[in-house]
Structure 1
Amino acid sequence: MAIAEIAFFGPSQGGDSQSPETVSRPSSARYQARARYRADVCVARDVVRHLVEWFPDFLKAGAGVGLPKGPSVDDDPVAAWTAHRDGVQALLDDPATAHALLTNPHIGEIPLDRAVDRFHTTDVFMHTWDLARATGQDEHLDPAKCAQLLDGMLPLDDVLRASGQYGPRVEVPESADVRTRLLAFIGREP
């Protein structure tokens, strides 16, 4: 299993390069991991912060596994992501991971590699759109993965909303493409 490469800050489709600071809008509110937001007003650095900060605690609490700590997202978001990504990849490459379990009061006991895939990889996938939107890059998401996620999440609508991890669902036409429907389901305004 490999962690996908994600270009957080790099050339946009127009060939320009943007830093995390340039994606903040004058009237923007800071990204809140547990609150509804529009990606065009979030600060990309905060999305990276969310991705690199919640998962190590989840692993430590549920499996007793620690990930190496990288530099501060404030100092170097790309290096922070790289250190995090490499740590997760090393965990997946470790033969002991195949036999390790993660225990959580909300999900029970699950093989550690499946927990990485189910929670971390999915979170990275969905936040890829946020980062692409915030940095002016290609916002394409794989339609098959979008459909898989949406099909799995729809029956859990009430549970997901009650968790505080997702904002209110945004209404879109039923005829909207699957990416738009997934983004609207998780509270984005595509």
Structure 2
Amino acid sequence: MIAERYRARADAFEAKVAAVLSHQWDNPSPCARWTALEVVDHVIDMHGVMVGQPIPRTEDPLTDFRTARRMVEEALVSRGAEEVSTPAGPMPLEDHVDQVVSDDLVLHGWDLARATGQDETIPATDVERLWAAAVSVPAELMERFRTPGAFGPGIEVYGPEVPVAQDASLQDRLLGYVGRDPMSKNL
């Protein structure tokens, strides 16, 4: 189930990376201070964290993401049950991948889509799953998630909550909760 969920999310993210036009890589993203390329670089870097080694880089973000993806998929098969150390405590590698980089593919996929004018629709099952996970985080941990650098230099799990209308879609409520402004089209 975890490997299948990761694969589906990686397929969607890879399609978004493949659709970025060469002149769009410097477009600003909803992630403060990151361009479209920096969003993809972050996702690749987080894949390296999951497998415990940096991802080899080329000049092509699509090639680099495919390498990162392959490495995570191989780790899920060969080391999925292996216990790893995480900021949330020890857990199986497959759970860490599922809770971090797999979820990142969804949220940063939206960031990349917004930055490059692609379809921003997140699958309803992903919206529901991420919403349930986000709102179940205890307040003291959520405060840490929203504090830049709390998990290491340059790492910000969620930004400050962005208010959205009470009748907004669950996708928009999720995005606002994790610090994205789903209504802003001007990046």
TM-score if structure 2 supplies the norm length? 0.76
Q: How far off its partner does 1:159 sit?
A: 3.4
For 1:9 and 1:110, locate their aligned partners in 2 and report how far apart those are by CA, in whole Å: 30
Equivalent in the alignment of 1:22: 24
- Alignment-mate amino acid for residue 21 of structure 2: Q
2:125 to 120, 140, 144: 144
Aligned-residue identity in percent:
27
Offset of residue 58 of structure 1: 5.0
Contact 1:101–1:112, Cα closer than 8 Å, also in 2: yes
Contiguous gaps of at least 5 residues in structure 2:
151-155, 183-187
Aligned with residue 158 of structure 1, among 130, 143, 162: 143
Query: Structure 2: how far apart are the matches of 1:86 and 1:58?
Result: 12
Q: 1:128 aligns with which of 109, 117, 120?
A: 109
* C-alpha contact 1:23 1:43 (8 A) present in aligned 2: yes
CA contact (8 A) 1:42 1:134 kept: no
Unaligned stretches of 5+ residues in structure 1: 12-16, 61-65
Contact 1:44 1:134 in 2 (8 A): yes
Aligned to 1:102: 84
Structure with the greater alpha carbon radius of gyration:
1
Q: Distance in 1 between matches of 2:17 and 2:81?
A: 36
Structure 1 residue identity aligned to 2:85: T
- Mean CA deviation greater in 169-178 or 148-157: 148-157
TM superposition score normalised by structure 1: 0.75
* Residue 80 (str. 1) matches residue 64 (str. 2): yes
Match of 1:108, SS?
Answer: coil
Structure 1 residue matching 2:90: 3-state secondary structure: strand
* CA displacement at 1:92 relative to structure 2: 1.3
Alpha-carbon distance change, 9 to 109 in structure 1, aligned in 2, over 3 angstroms: closer
Name 2:95's counterpart in structure 1. Answer: 114
